Structure 1
């Protein structure tokens, strides 16, 4: 993936026009950036239809296309040294990072494999997890640090060695509680562990150069010397390695005024974007480790301060959210059980949510084996609540694996009725009945369907939830790989699939039935544009409520829209 690529805004798929903005927002729910309502459950509840006829072309067709997930990243490790089972956190972390880079799979898929392969002790697992996710998440930042410390061009450094250097640089610059001497010596030893003694001298020199870059001083805000840490904190570097976000080296104006006054130009892709003469976008991309094209795209909607806030949110570990299984217990009882066990927990913003601020083994929490809770972010919990299925209804959950939202629907239905969960991944769909069994839910059936939903069950259904495949731009902290796997041209393909799923769902809905269309994206192309196109192609659909959830207000970002069809009078 080219990290500095400036891509064009995708145009909402084969069905119509490009859009630069995102329709109306109900603004309800915490984390919503616009509109009224406020508080949980607010929003625009007035029924309305999509745009006038004639603004869209033909609806998209069902056809198989290559999945964007198969694209090879630019830093893929094409030749990997033999990796023995890891016995320490750093060994497991490096083995995981190399395996993921070699196979182009998600890192979490390899992390559990490497932990098991090396029989890593439980006490070492939190560090291994932090190192893996931290290196992937802050790749751009680490590469900027290494570029200032390494005395040879990156293309002359073996990819596997560069990954080892990233791992060391992360410990020295961004990982709290790790002593410099331990980070350097243990990382250098990883070369010997891989049988590459010839790496050790070079790695030692590079990592010692990193320590000379990092100071113990803090700095108030963005600058070429400012390394963002977490939770709004910056560390001062001994030399400038980032672009100047202030506009010019002698600028004394505010960052935001320079950002807002930057010129708008039409780039080579024929779209408007900010000319980054001041370096504000480059600073965000490198210092907060986000692809340049995403930062450029977001700059059309968010000012510089908001971009920094988003950068901090996506790089700061967020509280772990649990959803209480209301059929097994209630929140107060579960909080009391946690307190008895010495676990610090607090009530979340939603009636059945609990937050844990400290990392913990979920399967070792009181109540896990009894099915009293499930892990689910608060923004994701809103989707099933918005659909509000009733006991005894026939309900469909599209793109259901691993079943977190499916089980929420079943709980809201009080385990009465019929709930069909579909997904295009047979292996992931197998997780749905496993989760349902632990939670004591018996009304869930499963069915494998194609990605575009051409073969989903015929129905008719009284309620349908579509948790659509998306770019994941609202959850880049929780899914660190996502920021590097998506490209701007993928948004067009995703929006095409999303519209197909929404149209297929509308065709299987009973008169007066309800649909909730939900994504983990904050891109209008995947959200309001898709919903409005669906309303055009299916005129009986009405938009009842929309929620645009901006990341960082106690939960991740996303989009949810409640639609219904006209009832037969």
Structure 2
């Protein structure tokens, strides 16, 4: 085993420890580890696979490990066992002997010979005896929870809302790696020109089947390309791109994006308006406003104005009826993006969802007077939950009788089968995008 490979596994162990102990975000820690340890080339992919894979399947791995651990072990030792077992079960290209050797070496370096010997014993027992069968779990909800590493409360909730089959499809999709997708900056280039440029840089990309002016990367990291640096595209999920289209904007409009950071949807709206008119972007956090400004600058968009402000008091900044369109991409539980942020499924609780709905309604209530008569208000979330989505919509329409549901006929033809009048709920299994919800309202004249 090369030294670099050792570093990769130890780096993965560091990230896993930090995610669990500090509830830090795995994507941020991963980028930090890549820089800190100077990990390059294929090792970057391996580190990502080891870290995300182990987090994605944590509950399954713990179920498999349980019969072989008969005493209290330190947190990092458990992480090392999870990491090693993940490779043994899910990664065909890495031979077991290499996994065992590496686990023992890490055990010695981070602990002592006794720990190394215990780790070796547990992994060799699993090799001999095999892991326990998930089929022995009788309760179908509990079985699905363990099989796909989703908390029991979430699988139960989804099963009640969407049925067991739809929940199974969603959970199974959530433990697969998503493809990277991007939106073409049509003010600077065309779809075909961007694809040609990326091909020259050695990437393999194809046109999105879902959203116009979007691409899917089959090989290569779009964020590392010259095309990205030059502002020819924005990395964004296809489901998320539908939000910009749902606003049905025109050149010269004045638009409010009330929860805007990091600016993916803000910049999309600005591009859809041909760089004309004005998009006002609000976000609670100053450091996130910086991200919006950096994105706008990279893309060459001069029609965005951003400000750190709580959108629940947006009326302090703007006159009533100032905007043609308003977007409330609300703070939510994020249950639609578990493929990209697998750690959040273990930190969320069912009680979080109720408190989020209150915030969502407060924002909608605060911004609705700022919309012109005849204007459109779009409410969106990156979650899959009836209470946060349809529940919030129902509550808003009940309290705001001067708003009517507005059908999403203006969305691309490809997603029309998923729309339900003025609402769209995308499930991760629908076309491989994030789980997303969009609802559109029109203000009475």
Q: Give the TM-score taking structure 1 as reference length.
A: 0.71
Residue 548 (1) aligns with residue 410 (2): no
More helix by share: 2
CA deviation map 1:72-117 (0-9, x unaligned): xxxxxxxxxxxxx997211111111112222222122222222222
| Residues 82-231 of structure 1 aligned to structure 2 (within 5 Å) | 88-150=7-69, 152-153=70-71, 156-212=72-128, 214=130
Q: Give yes or no for contact 2:231–2:300 (8 Å, CA) kept in 1.
A: yes
User: Helix, strand or coil for the counterpart of 2:430?
Assistant: coil
User: Paired residue for 1:490, among 348, 352, 356?
Assistant: 352
Matched residue, 1:508: 370
Flag the 1:319–1:505 CA change in 2: closer, same or farther, 3 A. same
Q: Give yes or no for contact 1:513–1:565 (8 Å, CA) kept in 2.
A: yes
CA deviation map 1:528-557 (0-9, x unaligned): 111121122221111102111122122222
Matched residue, 1:269: none
User: Helix, strand or coil for the counterpart of 1:494?
Assistant: helix
Structure 2 Cα separation of the partners of residues 211 and 336 of structure 1: 48
User: Paired residue for 2:203, among 333, 343, 363?
Assistant: 343
Residue 355 (1) aligns with residue 216 (2): yes
Q: Give yes or no for contact 2:336–2:435 (8 Å, CA) kept in 1.
A: yes
CA deviation map 1:411-458 (0-9, x unaligned): 011111221111122222211111111111112122112375567732
Moved more, 167-176 or 187-196: 187-196
| Residues 381-420 of structure 1 aligned to structure 2 (within 5 Å) | 381-420=241-280
Structure 1 Cα separation of the partners of residues 48 and 28 of structure 2: 12
Structure 1 Cα separation of the partners of residues 323 and 128 of structure 2: 63
Q: Give yes or no for contact 2:27–2:341 (8 Å, CA) kept in 1.
A: no
Moved more, 205-214 or 311-320: 205-214
Q: CA deviation at 1:350?
A: 1.3
User: Helix, strand or coil for the counterpart of 2:393?
Assistant: helix
Q: Give yes or no for contact 2:191–2:214 (8 Å, CA) kept in 1.
A: yes
CA deviation map 1:350-380 (0-9, x unaligned): 111111133x332333511221111111111
Structure 1 spans left out of the alignment, 5+ residues: 1-84, 215-236, 245-277
Q: Give yes or no for contact 1:476–1:482 (8 Å, CA) kept in 2.
A: yes
Matched residue, 1:524: 386
Higher relative contact order (CA 8 A, sep 6+): 1
Q: Give yes or no for contact 2:23–2:347 (8 Å, CA) kept in 1.
A: no
Structure 2 Cα separation of the partners of residues 488 and 474 of structure 1: 15
Q: Give yes or no for contact 1:449–1:455 (8 Å, CA) kept in 2.
A: no
User: Helix, strand or coil for the counterpart of 2:350?
Assistant: coil
Q: Give yes or no for contact 1:86–1:118 (8 Å, CA) kept in 2.
A: no
CA deviation map 1:92-144 (0-9, x unaligned): 11111112222222122222222222222333111111111111111101101
Q: CA deviation at 1:241?
A: 4.2
Flag the 1:329–1:288 CA change in 2: closer, same or farther, 3 A. same
Could you say what the CA RMSD is over the residues aligned between the two structures, in angstroms?
2.1
Q: CA deviation at 1:191?
A: 2.2
Matched residue, 2:417: none
CA deviation map 1:197-237 (0-9, x unaligned): 432111111122333355xxxxxxxxxxxxxxxxxxxxxx6
User: Helix, strand or coil for the counterpart of 2:337?
Assistant: coil
Residue 310 (1) aligns with residue 170 (2): yes
Q: Give yes or no for contact 1:453–1:500 (8 Å, CA) kept in 2.
A: no
User: Helix, strand or coil for the counterpart of 1:409?
Assistant: helix
Structure 1 Cα separation of the partners of residues 276 and 11 of structure 2: 45
User: Paired residue for 1:279, among 123, 139, 143?
Assistant: 139
Flag the 1:457–1:451 CA change in 2: closer, same or farther, 3 A. closer
Q: Give yes or no for contact 1:391–1:414 (8 Å, CA) kept in 2.
A: yes
Structure 2 Cα separation of the partners of residues 88 and 315 of structure 1: 25
Matched residue, 1:561: 439
Structure 2 spans left out of the alignment, 5+ residues: 407-421
| Residues 11-26 of structure 1 aligned to structure 2 (within 5 Å) | none
Structure 2 Cα separation of the partners of residues 496 and 213 of structure 1: 51
Matched residue, 1:55: none
User: Helix, strand or coil for the counterpart of 1:380?
Assistant: helix
User: Helix, strand or coil for the counterpart of 1:298?
Assistant: helix
Q: Give yes or no for contact 2:182–2:216 (8 Å, CA) kept in 1.
A: yes
Flag the 1:241–1:534 CA change in 2: closer, same or farther, 3 A. closer
Matched residue, 1:369: 229
Q: Give yes or no for contact 1:87–1:120 (8 Å, CA) kept in 2.
A: no
Structure 2 Cα separation of the partners of residues 499 and 452 of structure 1: 9
